[in-house]
Every structure is written in C-alpha cells, then in structure tokens.
Chains A and B, each alone.
Chain A
Amino acid sequence: MRLTTGRVRLYFGLLLAALLVSIIVSARLGAVVLTFGEIGGYVAQRLGLAALSPDPVARLHEGVFFQIRLPRVLLCAVVGAALSVSGTLMQALFRNPIVEPGLIGTSAGAALGAACIFVLGASMSWVNSTFLGAFVLPAAAFVGALAATGLVYRLSRVQGRVTVASMLLAGIAVNALAAGGTGFLAYIARDPQARSITFWSLGSFSSADWPSFYLVLTVTVVGVGLALRFAKALNALQLGEDEAHYLGVNTRQLQTRILLLNTLLVAVATATVGVIGFVGLVVPHVLRLLRLADNRLLILGSSLLGAMLMILSDTVARTIIAPAELPIGVLTAFIGAPVFLWMLSRYQQLNQRGGFYA
C-alpha cells in the first residue's frame, strides 16, 4: 500500500521526462512539421551557440517555432498545471474525488466574468488602451469564478459535510446560471464579440503568445508554491473538519484560502484560453491510482501530469482535422466526461463499502 521513496522518485522522474518529451514532440508538429535538427538549431542560435541561418525558409520556420509553436506549447503546459492543481485542491477541500473546477461552477463563473468584459468592455475605452487593461479580463474572470465557487461550496455543505448529491446539484444550478448569463451576453453582443465568446467558451490555445504565457506562468508558479504550503493542512482535512481542527488546523481560514487560491488559478487560465473541463478531474485521479496520497506529492504530480496531458490534447486538437482546429474543450470533454461517468458509477457502488478506491 505505501509508496517507497524510491518509487516516488521514479514516478516523478518519469513524469518530468514525459513532460519534456511531449514539449519537444508537440513543438515539432503542426501545419509546418519541423525536424528535431531544426529545433535544436534554433535553440542553439538563440543561445548564441550557432550562427543565424541566412536561408529565408529557415528564418520563416524559426519564426513559426518561436512566435507560434513554442509559446503555445508552453502555455498549454502552464494552463494544464494550473487546472490540475486546482482540481487537486478542490478535491482535498471538498473531501471528494469527483470535484473539478468545471463541475462546481468555477470555470463557468470565470467565463461569465470574462464575457462581461468582452461585451461591455468594448464601451470602456481605457480597458483597451492602458496598461491596466491586460489585467481587467483576468480580474473579471476571478470575480465571476469566486462568486460561483463560493455559492456552490456554501450550498453543498450540509451541517459541515459536503454530500456528492448536493454538490453536483448546486454545481448544475450555478453552471446553468452562469451559462445563461454568458449566452445572454453572446446574444446581445455584436457579431465578432459573439463569435469570440462562443469560440472561447469551448477553449482554445490558438491565441497563445508570450505575454499570456508569462501571465499564466507567474500565477501558476505562485499558486503551486502556496498550495504546497497548505498541503499538510489539507492532508489533515482528510480526517474530517473536526479532526483537522483538533490537529491544529484553522479550518475556516484554510477553506477561505484554498477557495481564493483555486479561483485565482482557474480564473487566470480561463481568462487566457477559455473553458477547458475535466483536466482537473482526471489528473489527480490518475495520480491516486498510482497510490500517491500525500497532497504535497499530488500537487507536484498534478502540475507535471496536467501540463503533459494538456500539451498532448492540444497537439491532437490542432492536428487531427488539420488544417482546421478542434476546440480543445471539446476534446477534453470527449475524454474526460466518460471518465467522470465511470468514476461516478464506481463512487455510487463503493461508497456503501466505505472506500472509493477500496
């Protein structure tokens, strides 16, 4: 049952290696297929190890690699990490393995907040013209996500305990409300805005650029760092709120902090690439199947595995029907929803026998 330190090191070594491989493979594939030699050459040039090639095709390919391919792959990585860590945090907080930012309203709330800016922000000229403008969209997404998550969390707690039924019902209601709001905004919006809302509510990495990568990277690094500080308290919370209190955890404070942290991670990711569901559900689940139980390991593992899975999903999404592109949210739903249904049926069966993974 228990993992040896050696086994944990092996898992993390493999995860890290798989992540690096998927970054390189994904950066290679697309409308223009680059060779590993070309990629190596561009990196060497950037590092000043090789002379710049005068060949115009090579320069074009280099542009594709550095301006389009690489920021997109890296953005996938940090968004995948952010969403997966968020899923891990939510599951620990709700003490339930079938919680996910998409199911409990966080993503839909963020989407509504961001859609408000898409539609209404056009009439606020300062949004587009000032330095602050770059933060308006994530901030609005944050407010929307916080309101939605807080509402679901409050509604699903019955006498201090979260029941799956009440959580899913509260999630459905809040998701429907937020989706209705987003739909209304798309309806009153003028055409280009409406299309961007629709496109964006399915998730896409096609607008990836370096600034958006840096924004999500910063939030994810800070978020994972903070999450690791809460890992021990979250472990104690597994015993229940009362037990965590007896072990010296200020549970109220912990709940507030985790909700805020989770909202920040999801809001910034959603504001950048749209709604991508089920990643936060599947990733921690896979890690638990590997017998990882300590939230510290789960948080670190989720960020690596989440990054890798998101890169692979996006690679599939942009190559499977090339030259067109499948919205990534559609793809993750196709993979994640069946997993969710399977988990739900297992949960119903095994709940009576006292353990989800028993």
Chain B
Amino acid sequence: MLRAENVSFRVAGKTLLHSASVTCRPGEFTVLMGPNGAGKTTLLRLLAGLYQPAEGQVYYDEKPLTKIPVAELAKTRAVLSQQTQLAFPLSVADVVLMGRYPHFQRSPTAQDRAIAQRTLAQLGMSDFADRDYSTLSGGEAQKVQMARVLAQIWEAPAQGTRVLLLDEPVSSLDLRYQHQLLHIARDFARQHTIVVAVLHDINLALTYADNLVFIRQGRVNCALQHPTALQEQTLEEVFDVPLRIMANPLTGKPLVMYAGQGLG
C-alpha cells in the first residue's frame, strides 16, 4: 500500500499541495486528474519519494518513505517522468537497460538484457534497439522510457509490493499506443502492483482506472473508488467545463461528452 497522509508541499513560500491524503492499493490502477498546475505532478513526486513533504508523511507498505534508502526503493518503485532528455547520445537499448541499474552491481546479466528486450518488445520498439535515442520522435521516446521504467520493476519482489508511477504517460502517443500503454499499466496493477498515473484525457481515465483522484488548486477534491460513481457536478467543478456523462455504447462504461466552448 502507498499512502500519503496529510502531505503538504511548499516551494519558495508557495504552497503547491495542502494537506493531501491519498491511499493507493496494490491491484488497483489509480488515476490523478485535475487542471494544469493543480499539484498532480507534485503529489506524484511526493509519492515517488523525490520530494520530502513539508508536513505529513508518505507510507510505503507502512514504512515512512523517507526512511527507505533510495537504492532500496529503486528496486521496487519506478517512475516515468513527463520528459526525459539525454545529455549525450545513447542507443535505445542502452537507455532501456538503465532500468536494470538498481538490480546489478557492475555489468548487466543475461537476465537483465532479456528483460530489457522484452519490455522494448512489449512497447513495439524492438526495431529501434540500435537507434540513437536523441533521433527519436516524442512518442517513440516516451515508449522507450516506458520500456525502461517497466524493466526496472519487471520482476515481482519476494516481499512487498511494486509501485509504478506514471506522469502523463500517453501525452505524445497516438491512439493505438495510448490504449496499449494504459493496458500494460493496468495489467501491471493486476499483478499486485500499485499503479498511479497522471492523465488529462478523462475518457481514457474512465476506461482504465479503478480509482479516480481529483486535484484542484493543491487540494484533493475527492477520491472516488469507482468511475461509475462519478457525478457530472464533480467534473464540472474540477475542470470548469460544462459536460455530460453518458454510457459508452461499446463498453457500457461512463463516457464524458462536452460541446466545446462557444459551440454548444
């Protein structure tokens, strides 16, 4: 279980997150949503242990996150950031293999290489293994980073749960790979992993999420257990856009429709 308890975070006197509490359980895919600058990435970074909360505490399997050494944490917790730029040229295969860094001392084992190849294949990027990372398009780079992140926590640990944190993982992907990637993420959740993602597309979130957490102006607005319990009023409050919730004719799941500004 990954649990943020009344966490606040400040930068240069500005409070980015006010006493936020979130509980993420293994087996569930939690999606953080909210307007730009609401504090989604901040909350994700607090959950990742990159930031230290000014107040409150994040617990990972009931241990305070701050008490776990970073090298230890890296074996079971992987994070996909919004953008990753390399300082020097590296091949795609080398970038993915970096995901195995927490698991080997000096040189990657055959097992490490096999895992890196499998995750690259899973994202449909095997043909790019020898390409220079810096020549990839935004979407290709995002898939390679996802492969690296998956390689990091590919194997289930003997004890405890894995954590997969994704910050806008589909922002540069085409429709097919948006679904492919979220499908992979949800599969990971089903294998007793805690999966938390920041998403902007409400309908993608409703399709794949088990939990929705809405953040607005640095406060957790409401945490819903099931997307089916979602109210139109809640969404309109969070995003400030008039909309309707209907049933997706293909799945029966909720589908958000909106008219667009100045058009309806």
Binding site for B on A (CB under 8 A): 1-2, 92, 95-97, 232, 235-236, 238-240, 242-243, 245-250, 288, 291, 293-294, 354-358
- Interface mask (B123-137 → A, CB under 8 Å = 1, otherwise 0): 000000111101100
Given contacts A97-B87, A236-B101, A293-B94, 16 further A-B contacts (CB under 8 A): A2-B91, A2-B93, A2-B130, A232-B101, A235-B98, A235-B101, A238-B87, A246-B152, A248-B71, A288-B88, A293-B88, A354-B85, A355-B86, A355-B132, A355-B135, A358-B135
Are B85 and A240 in contact, with the CB atoms below 8 A?
A: yes
A1 to B101, CA, bound (A): 21
Ordered by A's residue number, 6 sampled pairs between the chains whose C-beta atoms are within 8 Å are A2-B94, A242-B79, A243-B81, A248-B75, A288-B88, A291-B89
Min C-beta distance of B122 to chain A, whole Å:
20
The answer for the CA separation of A97 and B134 in the assembled complex, in Å, is: 15
Looking at chain B, what size class is its interface with the partner chain? Answer: 35 or more
Residues of chain B within 8 A (CB-CB) of A2 are 91, 93-94, 129-130
Q: Quick check: A236 and B132 within 8 Å, CB to CB?
A: no
Q: Contact at B70–A1, with CB atoms within 8 Å?
A: no
In the complex the two chains form, what is the Cα distance from A246 to B79 in whole Å? 6
Taking A2-B94, A246-B79, A247-B98 as contacts, is the C-beta distance between A358 and B152 under 8 angstroms? no
User: Which of A1, A248, A294, A354 makes the CB contact (< 8 A) with B74?
Assistant: A248
Contact A247 B89 (CB under 8 A): no
Write the nearest CB–CB distance from B111 to chain A, whole angstroms: 17
What residues on A are CB-neighbors of B101 within 8 Å?
232, 235-236, 247-248
> How distant is A97 from chain B, measured CB to nearest CB, in Å?
7
The answer on a CB contact under 8 Å between A358 and B50 is no
Partner among B89, B106, B130 whose Cβ is within 8 Å of the Cβ of A288: B89
Of residues 53 to 86 in B, which have CB atoms within 8 Å of A's CB atoms? 70-75, 77-79, 81, 84-86
The answer, yes or no, to whether B147 is at the interface (CB within 8 Å) is no
Contact B91 A1 (CB under 8 A): yes
Chain B residues with a Cβ under 8 A of chain A = 45, 48, 50, 70-75, 77-79, 81, 84-91, 93-95, 98-99, 101-102, 106, 129-132, 134-135, 152
Indicate if the CB atoms of B134 and A247 lie closer than 8 Å. Answer: no
Closest 10 CB pairs of A and B: A248-B74, A355-B134, A95-B87, A248-B71, A248-B102, A246-B79, A2-B91, A357-B89, A1-B91, A247-B101
B83 closest partner in A (C-beta)? A240
The answer to whether B86 and A246 touch across the interface, beta carbons within 8 angstroms, is no
In the complex, chain B residues whose CB is within 8 Å of the CB of A92: 87
A245→B90 CA distance, assembly (Å):
19
A215 to B72, CA, bound (A): 38
**Does B132 lie within 8 Å of A358, measured CB to CB?**
yes
Report yes or no: B89 in contact with A355, Cβ–Cβ below 8 A. Answer: yes
Which chain B positions have C-beta within 8 A of A96? Answer: 87
- Report B49 CB to chain A, min CB distance, Å: 8
A2 to B88, CA, bound (A): 14
Distance in angstroms between the alpha carbons of A91 and B134 in the assembled complex: 18
Q: Assuming A293-B90, A293-B94, A358-B89, is B102 touching A247 (CB within 8 A)?
A: yes
Find chain B residues with CB under 8 A from A249 CB: 70-71
Question: Which chain B positions have C-beta within 8 A of A97?
Answer: 87-88
Query: A238 and B70 in contact (CB under 8 A), knowing A246-B50, A354-B134?
Result: no
